[in-house]
C-alpha cells in the first residue's frame, strides 16, 4: 500500500476516504465527517487534527463491573449491546402515542438498561454486539440497573478494528461527527505518518528530559499507560508554554532595547520632601517598590510596571512617589481610577500627602496671584526669611465626569498649558478634548479589572512612550503574572502597615448565627465603631436588584437596627448623593451603611470594624476579598461575616467562602480563584491577543510555566533575533497570529 506518504499539511481526507466521508444521522444523513471537522471545529489538516486532543480517557482497568455498581454513585462500565427494544406507549386521550426505546447492555457480570423516550432513531444507532462505555449515576428501576444522566461512547462498532489498548481516548466531537470517527481517523493517520522531526531544539528537550515530539503526540491520543500519558502531556504543555514565554521574552527584549522613553530623575526635591513628610513610617515593601519604580522610570525605555498589593497595603504612597518623579523631571503625571468614587478617594489621599510637599489644588490656586508664595508651602511656612525652607510646589486637579462647566474648562486649560502637574481622574482622562502638555507617567488603578484597553488609551495621550504604572488590589496569580502579564515588571507590596489587626472572617449559615452577627453590629456601634452591610445587587444597572437592596435597607433600618443611624448607598444614586452619604459615614454620623457593591472601591474608613455580606455565595472570590478590604484599616479588631445561603451542593460557593474564612492573604486567594474558575473566565485571553493554551492550565502548572519561561528567556538571550532557530520564529508567528503587532511592534 502506498500509505506511508502522509504529511502534516495534507488534508484530513487524505487519511482515509471512507472514514472522512462518513455521515451521521439515521433518517436524513448529515454532512461528511471532514466537512464537519472543517466547519464546526476548524480542523483542516492532519497536523491540526493531531493537536485535537482527547477531552477524557476511559481506562478499562478502572471501569466497574455491572454487579459492583452502587446506587447513587457515578460509575463507568464497558458493555456490549445485548438487545434493543422499541415499544409504543398507549396514548392518553387526546395525545399521540409515544415511543420508548430500551437498550440493554451486558458485561460478564450483569445487565444494565438505558431507556430513551421519544427518540425512535436510537433503535438504529445501537446494534447488538457493539461495544460501548457508559458513564452515569447508577440507579435501580424495577429490579434492574439503570444509569441517570448517562454519557455513552461507542468504542467499537461492527467491523471497526481500532484497538486502542487499555486506555481509550474520547475526543471532543460535534454535531455530525462522533468521537469514534475522530479516534479512527487519528488511528489511521498514525499508521501512515512517518516519524516527525522534533520542532524544538534538541539540547533543550534533552536538558528538560522531555518526551520526543512524535512520541508525545502519539501517546496523548493513544496512551499505553498512565505514566506515558503524563509524560506526553508534560511535553505538549511545555511546548505551549515555551512558545508563549518566547513571545513574552521577545516583546520584553524589544521594549528594553527601545530608547524612546523618558529618562526620569529618580531623586529630586519633590520625592525627598515626600519621604520627609509622610505621616507614617513606610513599610519595607513600600520602600522597595518606590526604589523599583524610581529605577524603572530613570531608564531610557518606557516603564511598564505592575504594582500588586492587597487592599490597605499602601499603594497610594508608591503611586504618588512615581508621580513626583515625573513632575520633578519637568513632566506631568496622571492617575486614572476605575470609578468616580475611587478617583475622589485618590484625590483626597493625594491632597493630604501633597499638602506638606507644597501641592495645591489647581482650582483653588488659580484665582490667586501666581506670584504669591502660596505655591510654596502652607500657611505655617509663611514667615519670610526665618521659617523652614519653602516646600517645592506643584499643582494637581481632579477630572471626572462631574467636573463640568467653567471648572472643567479651567482644568482642561491647565492640563493643556502644563500648569497642572498632576491630574487625578476617571476614564474621563482618556476622552476626546483632554490634551496634556507633557505627560510622561500614567498610573492606572485597575483594582480587579484587568483591562488592557484603557491602559493603552492613556498611553496614547502621552504619545505612546510614556511610563505606565498599573496598580491592582487583587493580586494576580503568579502564573498569570509570568504569562499574560509577563511583559510587565512586577513590584509587590507583600507587607501590611504595622498596627493592623487581622480581620476575623466567619461564614454564617443558621438563623442563630445571624442573630449573633447582628448583635456584634450593635456592640461595635455602642463602642463607637461603624459597620457595613453589603447586599447583592450585583447588577447596578438593574432596577429590580437595586430595589431589593432598598427594601432590605428599610427592613434593617426599621426592624433589625431601629436604634442605629442607618444610611443606604447604591450605584443608581446621583454622584452628589453618593458623596453626601459617604461623607456622613466618613465623619462618623452614621453607624451602619447598607450598600450594594459600590463600596467595593474607594472607601477608606479606619473606624469601620464590621462587614456583613448578604448572599455571599453570589459574589466572586476577588470581589469578596475587595469588600473585606474595606474594614480592618484602623487599629481596632475587625470582623467580616459572610451570610451563605447557598445549597449544600453548591461546592464552588462553599469553596469560595471557606477560602475567605481560611486566609486573608490576597495571593493565596488569587491562586484559589484561578483554580476554581479556570483561566478562561478570570482572564480574557482573546482580549489579550495571546495564544490559547490547550493543555496547560495556569492554575496547576506553575512549575512548567517557570521552567518554560527560564528556557525561553535564556534561548532568546543567546539568539536575540532567533536567527539560528527559524522554525521557532515561524512557530511564534503562527501562534501569535492574532497579535503579531503586540509581538513585533510597539
When asked if residue 666 is in the footprint of ligand ADP (CB under 6 A), the reply is no
Q: 91 in the Ramachandran plot: left (φ > 0), alpha (ψ -120 to 50) or beta?
A: beta
> Smallest distance, Å, CB 338 to ligand ADP?
13
Number of residues that bind Mg ion (CB under 5 A): 5
Distance CA 595, CA 599 (A): 7
Interface mask toward ligand ADP for 174-213; x: CB under 6 A: ----------------------------------------
Among 136, 176, 314, 602, binds ligand ADP (CB under 6 A): 314
Nearest distance, CB of residue 399 and Mg ion, angstroms: 24
| Pick from 528, 535, 501, 505: nearest CA to 517 | 505
Residue 311 interacts with, from Mg ion, ligand ADP, none (CB under 5-8 Å by kind)? ligand ADP
Which does residue 616 touch among Mg ion, ligand ADP, none (CB within 5 to 8 A, set by kind)?
none
Single out the segment in contact with ligand ADP by CB under 6 A; choices: 99-107, 114-122, 314-322, 642-650.
314-322
Could you identify the residue written with the cell 444610611? 567
Q: What is the largest CA-CA distance in the chain?
A: 108
List residues bridging with 100 in a β-sheet: 87, 117
430 three-state secondary structure: helix
C-beta separation of 342 from 445 below 8 A: yes
Number of residues that bind ligand ADP (CB under 6 A): 17
For residue 318, the minimal CB distance to ligand ADP (Å) is 8
Query: Binding pattern to Mg ion, positions 451-480, x when CB under 5 A?
Result: ----------------x-------------
Q: Which is nearer to Mg ion, 324 or 482 (CB)?
A: 324
CB atoms inside a 10 Å sphere around CB 533: 26
Q: Which does 344 bind (CB under 5 to 8 A by kind): Mg ion, ligand ADP, none?
A: none
Stretch that binds ligand ADP, among 12-20, 304-312, 372-380, 654-662 (CB under 6 A): 304-312
Q: Does 282 bind ligand ADP (CB under 6 A)?
A: yes
The distance of closest approach from Cβ of residue 433 to Mg ion in the complex, given in angstroms and rounded to an integer, is 27
Q: How far apart are CA 253 and CA 612, in angstroms?
A: 48
> 449: which residues sit within 8 A by CB, 6+ positions away?
338
Is 315 a binding residue for ligand ADP by CB under 6 A? The answer is yes
Asked if 313 is part of the footprint of ligand ADP (rule: CB under 6 A), the reply reads yes
Cα angle 647, 651, 653; round to 5: 75
571: contact with Mg ion by CB under 5 A? no
The reply on whether position 320 binds ligand ADP by CB under 6 A is: no
Q: In what order do the strands lie in the sheet with 592-595?
A: 504-508, 639-643, 608-613, 530-534, 592-595, 566-569
Q: Which of 223, 247, 261, 314 is close enough to bind Mg ion by CB under 5 A?
A: 261
Q: Which cell numbers hold the place of 213?
A: 515530539
CB of 456 to Mg ion, least distance (A): 18
317 binds ligand ADP, rule: CB under 6 A: yes
Task: State the Cα–Cα distance between residues 600 and 630, nearest whole angstrom.
Answer: 7
Q: Least Å distance between CB 322 and ligand ADP?
A: 13
Distances (CA, A) of 150 to 141, 180, 284, 286, 621: 15, 17, 58, 56, 33
Given the complex with ligand ADP, which of 228 and 313 has the nearer CB atom? 313
Q: How many C-beta atoms surround the C-beta of residue 334 within 10 A?
A: 27
Using the minimum distance from each CB to ligand ADP, give the nearer residue, 132 or 491.
Answer: 491
Only segment of 265-273, 297-305, 496-504, 718-726 that touches Mg ion (CB under 5 A): 297-305
* The pairing of beta strand 110-117 with beta strand 99-107: antiparallel
C-alpha angle 75-78-80 in degrees, rounded to nearest 5: 135
User: In the numeric block, which cell numbers belong to residue 651?
Assistant: 461546592
Rounded to a whole number of angstroms, the minimum distance from the CB of residue 267 to Mg ion is 14
The rounded distance, in Å, linking the Cα atoms of 30 and 32 is 7
Q: How far is the CB of 634 from ligand ADP (least distance, A)?
A: 9
User: At CB < 8 A and 24+ separation, what contacts does 155-159 make?
Assistant: 155/58, 155/78, 155/131, 155/180, 156/130, 156/131, 156/180, 157/127, 157/130, 158/127, 158/129, 158/130
Q: How far is the CB of 299 from Mg ion (least distance, A)?
A: 5
Give me the residue label for grid cell 489587626.
501
Nearest to 736 by CA among 694, 695, 688, 690: 690
Task: Kindly state the cell numbers that stand for 584.
Answer: 456622613
Q: Which is nearer to ligand ADP, 210 or 424 (CB)?
A: 424
CA atoms within 13 A on the CB side of 301: 14
CB contact at 8 A, 543 and 620: no
> For 222-374, where are the alpha helices, taking DSSP H only?
226-257, 269-277, 284-298, 315-328, 340-355, 362-365
Q: Which stretch binds Mg ion (CB under 5 A): 51-59, 254-262, 310-318, 603-611?
A: 254-262
In the complex with Mg ion, which residue's Cβ is closer, 255 or 299?
A: 299
Candidate list 316, 447, 530, 597; residue touching ligand ADP; CB under 6 A = 316
- Per-residue burial over 132-154, b if 16 or more Cβ lie within 10 Å, else e, is bbbbbbbeeeeeebbbeeeebbb
Place of cell 491632597: 351
Q: Which of residues 468-487 bind ligand ADP (CB under 6 A)?
A: 473
665 binds ligand ADP (CB under 6 A): no
* C-alpha–C-alpha distance, residues 472 and 450, integer Å: 8
Name the minimum Å distance from CB 319 to ligand ADP: 8
* Least distance (Å) between residue 441 CB and Mg ion: 9
Choose the one of ligand ADP, Mg ion, none that binds residue 297, judging by a C-beta under 5 to 8 angstroms depending on kind. Mg ion
Single out the residue of 134, 73, 151, 80 nearest to residue 110, CA to CA. Answer: 80
Choose between 421 and 600: whose C-beta lies nearer to ligand ADP: 600
Q: Which does 735 bind (CB under 5 to 8 A by kind): Mg ion, ligand ADP, none?
A: none
Nearer Cβ to ligand ADP, position 244 or 443? 443
Size of the chain, expressed as the number of residues it contains: 746
Contacts of residue 730, defined as CB under 8 A and 6 or more positions apart, other chains included, come to: none
Judged by beta carbon distances under 5 to 8 A according to partner kind, the member of ligand ADP, Mg ion, none in contact with residue 365 is none
Give the whole-angstrom CA distance, residue 743 versus residue 746: 8
Residue 682's binding partner among Mg ion, ligand ADP, none (Cβ under 5 to 8 angstroms by kind) is none
75 phi, psi to nearest 5 deg: -150, 155
Please say whether the beta carbons of 100 and 117 come within 8 A. yes
CB of 597 to ligand ADP, least distance (A): 16
Which of residues 162 and 299 has its CB atom nearest to Mg ion in the complex? 299
Q: For strand 359-361 and strand 394-399, is the pairing parallel, antiparallel, or unpaired? A: parallel
Q: What residue 176 binds from Mg ion, ligand ADP, none (CB within 5 to 8 A, per partner kind)?
A: none
CB 419, min distance to Mg ion, A: 24
Q: Which of residues 303-322 bind Mg ion (CB under 5 A)?
A: 303
Of 283-302, binders to ligand ADP (CB under 6 A) are 283, 286
Q: By CB under 6 A, tell whether 609 contacts ligand ADP.
A: no
On whether the CB atoms of residues 711 and 515 are closer than 8 A, the answer is no
Shortest distance in whole angstroms from residue 604 CB to ligand ADP? 5
Q: Does 282 bind Mg ion (CB under 5 A)?
A: no
Q: Which stretch binds ligand ADP (CB under 6 A): 200-208, 305-313, 515-523, 733-741?
A: 305-313
Per-residue binding string, ligand ADP, 560-599, x by CB under 6 A, is ----------------------------------------
Q: Is 297 in the site for Mg ion (CB under 5 A)?
A: yes
* Partner from Mg ion, ligand ADP, none contacting 261, C-beta within 5 to 8 A by type: Mg ion
By CB under 6 A, name the binding residues for ligand ADP.
280-283, 286, 309, 311-317, 473, 497, 604, 633
Footprint on this chain of Mg ion (rule: CB under 5 A): 261, 297, 299, 303, 467
Amino acid at each position: 500500500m502506498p500509505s506511508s506518504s502522509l504529511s502534516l499539511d495534507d488534508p484530513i481526507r487524505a487519511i482515509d476516504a471512507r472514514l472522512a466521508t462518513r455521515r451521521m444521522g439515521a433518517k436524513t444523513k448529515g454532512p461528511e465527517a471532514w466537512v464537519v471537522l472543517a466547519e464546526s471545529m476548524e480542523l483542516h489538516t492532519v497536523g491540526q487534527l493531531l493537536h485535537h486532543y482527547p477531552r477524557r480517557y476511559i481506562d478499562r482497568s478502572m471501569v466497574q463491573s455491572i454487579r459492583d455498581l452502587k446506587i447513587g454513585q457515578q460509575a463507568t462500565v464497558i458493555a456490549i449491546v445485548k438487545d434493543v427494544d422499541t415499544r409504543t406507549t398507549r396514548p392518553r386521550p387526546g395525545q399521540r402515542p409515544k415511543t420508548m426505546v430500551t437498550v440493554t447492555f451486558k458485561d460478564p457480570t450483569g445487565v444494565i438498561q438505558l431507556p430513551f423516550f421519544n427518540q425512535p432513531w436510537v433503535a438504529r444507532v445501537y446494534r447488538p454486539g457493539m461495544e460501548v462505555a457508559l458513564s452515569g449515576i447508577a440507579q435501580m428501576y424495577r429490579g434492574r440497573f439503570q444509569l441517570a444522566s448517562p454519557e455513552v461512547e461507542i468504542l467499537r462498532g461492527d467491523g471497526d478494528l481500532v484497538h486502542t489498548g487499555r486506555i481509550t481516548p474520547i475526543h471532543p466531537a460535534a454535531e455530525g461527527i462522533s468521537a469514534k470517527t475522530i479516534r479512527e481517523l487519528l488511528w489511521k493517520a498514525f499508521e501512515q505518518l512517518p516519524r516527525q522531526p522534533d520542532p524544538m531544539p534538541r539540547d533543550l528537550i534533552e536538558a528538560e528530559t522531555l518526551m520526543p515530539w512524535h512520541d508525545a503526540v502519539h501517546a496523548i491520543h493513544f496512551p499505553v499507560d498512565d505514566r506515558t500519558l503524563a509524560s506526553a502531556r508534560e511535553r505538549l504543555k511545555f511546548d505551549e508554554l515555551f512558545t508563549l514565554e518566547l513571545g513574552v521574552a521577545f516583546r520584553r527584549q524589544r521594549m528594553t532595547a527601545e530608547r524612546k522613553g523618558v529618562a526620569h530623575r529618580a531623586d529630586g526635591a519633590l520625592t525627598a520632601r515626600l519621604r520627609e513628610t509622610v505621616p507614617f513610617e513606610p513599610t519595607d515593601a513600600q520602600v522597595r517598590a518606590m526604589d523599583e519604580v524610581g529605577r524603572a522610570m530613570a531608564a531610557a525605555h518606557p516603564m511598564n510596571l505592575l504594582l500588586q498589593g492587597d487592599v490597605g497595603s499602601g499603594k497610594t504612597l508608591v503611586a504618588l512617589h512615581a508621580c513626583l518623579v515625573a513632575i520633578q523631571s519637568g513632566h506631568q503625571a496622571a492617575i486614572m481610577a476605575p470609578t468616580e468614587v475611587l478617583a475622589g478617594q485618590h484625590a483626597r489621599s493625594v491632597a493630604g500627602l501633597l499638602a506638606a510637599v507644597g501641592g495645591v489644588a489647581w482650582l483653588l490656586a488659580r484665582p490667586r496671584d501666581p506670584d504669591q508664595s502660596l505655591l510654596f508651602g502652607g500657611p505655617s511656612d509663611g514667615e519670610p526669611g526665618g521659617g523652614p525652607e519653602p516646600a517645592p510646589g506643584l499643582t494637581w486637579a481632579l477630572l471626572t465626569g462631574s467636573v463640568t462647566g467653567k471648572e472643567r474648562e479651567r482644568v482642561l486649560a491647565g492640563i493643556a498649558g502644563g500648569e497642572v502637574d498632576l491630574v487625578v481622574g476617571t476614564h474621563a482622562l482618556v476622552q476626546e478634548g483632554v490634551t496634556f502638555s507633557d505627560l510622561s507617567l500614567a498610573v492606572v488603578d485597575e483594582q480587579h479589572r484587568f483591562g488592557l484597553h484603557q491602559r493603552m488609551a492613556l498611553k496614547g495621550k502621552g504619545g505612546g512612550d510614556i511610563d505606565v504604572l498599573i496598580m491592582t488590589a487583587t493580586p494576580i496569580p503568579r502564573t498569570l503574572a509570568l504569562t499574560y502579564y509577563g511583559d510587565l515588571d512586577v513590584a509587590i507590596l507583600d507587607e501590611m502597615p504595622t498596627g493592623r489587626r487581622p480581620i476575623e472572617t466567619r461564614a454564617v449559615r443558621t438563623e442563630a448565627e445571624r442573630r449573633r452577627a447582628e448583635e456584634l453590629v450593635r456592640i461595635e456601634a455602642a463602642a463607637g465603631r461603624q459597620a457595613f452591610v453589603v447586599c447583592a445587587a450585583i447588577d447596578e444597572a438593574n432596577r429590580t436588584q437595586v430595589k431589593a437592596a432598598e427594601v432590605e435597607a428599610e427592613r434593617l433600618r426599621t426592624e433589625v437596627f431601629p436604634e442605629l443611624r442607618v444610611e443606604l448607598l447604591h450605584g443608581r444614586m446621583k454622584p452628589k448623593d453618593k458623596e453626601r452619604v459617604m461623607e456622613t459615614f466618613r465623619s462618623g454620623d452614621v453607624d451602619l451603611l447598607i450598600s450594594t457593591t459600590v463600596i467595593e472601591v474607594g472607601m477608606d474608613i479606619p473606624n469601620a470594624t464590621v462587614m456583613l455580606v448578604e448572599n455571599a455565595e453570589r459574589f466572586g472570590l476577588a470581589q469578596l476579598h475587595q469588600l473585606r478590604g474595606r474594614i480592618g484599616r484602623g487599629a481596632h479588631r475587625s470582623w467580616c461575616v459572610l451570610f451563605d445561603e447557598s445549597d449544600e451542593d453548591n461546592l464552588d460557593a462553599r469553596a469560595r467562602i471557606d477560602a475567605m474564612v481560611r486566609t486573608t492573604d490576597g495571593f493565596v486567594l488569587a491562586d484559589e480563584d484561578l483554580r476554581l474558575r479556570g483561566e478562561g473566565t478570570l482572564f480574557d485571553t482573546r482580549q489579550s491577543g495571546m495564544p490559547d493554551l490547550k493543555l496547560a492550565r495556569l492554575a496547576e502548572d506553575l512549575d512548567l510555566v517557570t521552567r518554560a519561561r527560564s528556557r525561553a528567556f535564556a534561548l532568546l538571550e543567546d539568539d536575540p533575533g532567533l536567527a539560528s532557530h527559524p522554525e521557532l520564529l515561524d512557530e511564534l508567528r503562527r501562534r501569535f497570529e492574532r497579535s503579531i503587532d503586540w509581538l513585533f511592534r510597539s
